[in-house]
Amino acid sequence: MESGMADVALRGINKSFGATRVLNGVDLNVAAGEFVVFVGPSGCGKSTLLRVIAGLEEPDAGEVAIAGRTVNALSPSDRGIAMVFQSYALYPHMTVRQNMAFGLTLAKTDKAEIERRVSAAADILNIADYLDRKPKALSGGQRQRVAIGRAIVREPQVFLFDEPLSNLDAALRVRMRYEFAALHQRLKTTMIYVTHDQVEAMTLADRIVVLNGGIVEQVGAPLELYDHPRTRFVAEFIGSPKMNLISAEIIEATATVATVRVADGAIVRVGVNAAATTPGQKVQLGVRPEHLTLDGPGEALTATATFVESLGVATYAYAALPGSGETLTVQLPGDVRVCSGQTLSLRVPPNRAHLFDANGAALRRLV
Ligand SMILES: Nc1ncnc2c1ncn2[C@@H]1O[C@H](COP(=O)(O)OP(=O)(O)OP(=O)(O)O)[C@@H](O)[C@H]1O
Ligand SMILES: [Mg+2]
């Protein structure tokens, strides 16, 4: 199969292990050259979906197409993909060069061609100086780069990465994250990347796919998911610390604004299309910690600070709402001093707050 870029199309993918349905009607189009990141809680089916694309798992139903061609019947090695796993599993008795060349050697690729590809990949990944070392003489980050190099030399149309950085320490992850972004810019190959790490997803992805229990909850650009989550699940999953959710009741509803009352009687206005709701309806008011302010626009919630963390870059206050006892996380600028026990008047900006109905569906935000 030619190297270069290829689109990936998934249609109606179902997969069960025994009685457990792990993927449930997954439809997804990944454009040629796109960097798509799968996120979701542990066990939601991210690795299984990646393995279905790779051909390491056979779906019970549905179609996998790469570059416009149905590949369901093709073995992994014939799909034009290369996969990098979390456990990079290098052969300990082989040098870096032999590890990287291994797949090509098996495929009886011409020796000069192998040499060309290995040295090109080594240059891209900055491991040219280590080609004659054995894996045990490398750091974790260097080993991970060899594993990526082993994928690059295959010149795939699509790279599949399953949590490739999760074995690395925090500082190295940050550096490797940058290197992944650079690698994608340079190769422009289609990449599908699974991670638990919010920041990796937000920074690397052209689009993020949020999976929940084998279902695609939402697909969108990182800031689209952050600003316009379509469900409470996505709202809580994207963003750190998590979005606050406060029980509330609709007082008045129009196509441009919802007026809600929270437990202690405070009234808050939210810029959403609430035309389909009715007064008295139970909803949840969602507001991100970083959008609550002590002096910005919007109505105020009164809450008592119960615990304060000063991190320098930001101050986190945890505050209890009277009436319901619900706790809010509030992210304030690092130079703001708040004490535990202090009463806070927290403003909810109407154009940044969210409302969710009893099923967890978001009312459409207007800005
Ligand atoms: N070979 C298998 N046999 C039986 N069950 C499996 C198999 N592989 C995965 N599962 C189950 O399928 C579900 C989805 O697994 P999967 O590995 O895709 O999750 P994941 O989203 O990658 O999770 P994590 O974030 O923990 O890696 C889990 O409940 C898992 O236990
Ligand atoms: Mg997994």
- Indicate the SS3 state at residue 116: helix
Distance 87 CA to ligand 2 centre (A): 11
Assess whether the C-beta atom of 10 lies below 6 angstroms from ligand 1: no
Instruction: Look at residue 1 in the predicted model and tell me its pLDDT.
Output: 45
Structural domain boundaries in the chain: 8-236, 242-356
Please write down the HEC assignment for all residues of 120-132: HHHHHHCCHHHCC
> Are the C-beta atoms of residues 195 and 177 closer than 8 Å to each other?
no
Residue 11: pLDDT band (50, 70, 90) is very high
Strands 207-212 and 244-253, bridge-based pairing = unpaired
* E strand or H helix at 48: helix 46-54
Kindly give the number of the ligand 1 atom that is closest to the alpha carbon of 38. 21
Residue 359 CA, chain-centre distance (Å), reads 23
Assess whether the C-beta atom of 45 lies below 6 angstroms from ligand 1: yes
Residue 146 confidence (pLDDT) above 70: yes
Helices 170-187 & 140-152 angle (0-180, nearest 10): 20
| Mean of all residue pLDDT scores within the chain | 94
Kindly give the number of the ligand 1 atom that is closest to the alpha carbon of 44. 21
CATH number given to 242-356: 2.40.50.140
Residue 2 confidence (pLDDT) above 60: no
CA-CA distance, 309 to 316, in Å (whole number)?
A: 5
Residue 230 confidence (pLDDT) above 90: yes
Q: Which of 165-169, 232-236, 357-361 is predicted least confidently?
A: 165-169
Q: Tokens at residue 2, please?
A: 């030619």
CATH superfamily label, 8-236: P-loop containing nucleotide triphosphate hydrolases (3.40.50.300)
For the residues 87-112, what does the mean pLDDT come to? 92
Start-to-end CA distance of the chain, whole Å, equals 45
| Tens-digit pLDDT profile for residues 243-296 | 999 999 999 999 999 999 998 899 999 999 999 999 999 999 999 999 999 998
Instruction: Look at residue 347 in the predicted model and tell me its pLDDT.
Output: 96
Among 14, 37, 46, 163, say which to mutate for ligand 1: greatest number of ligand atoms within 8 Å of CB: 46
| Tens-digit pLDDT profile for residues 303-337 | 999 999 999 999 999 999 998 889 999 999 999 99
Shortest-distance Cα residue to atom 3 of ligand 1: 17
What percent of the chain stands above pLDDT 90? 83
Assess whether the C-beta atom of 43 lies below 6 angstroms from ligand 1: yes
Q: Which of 4-13, 206-215, 280-289 is predicted least confidently?
A: 4-13
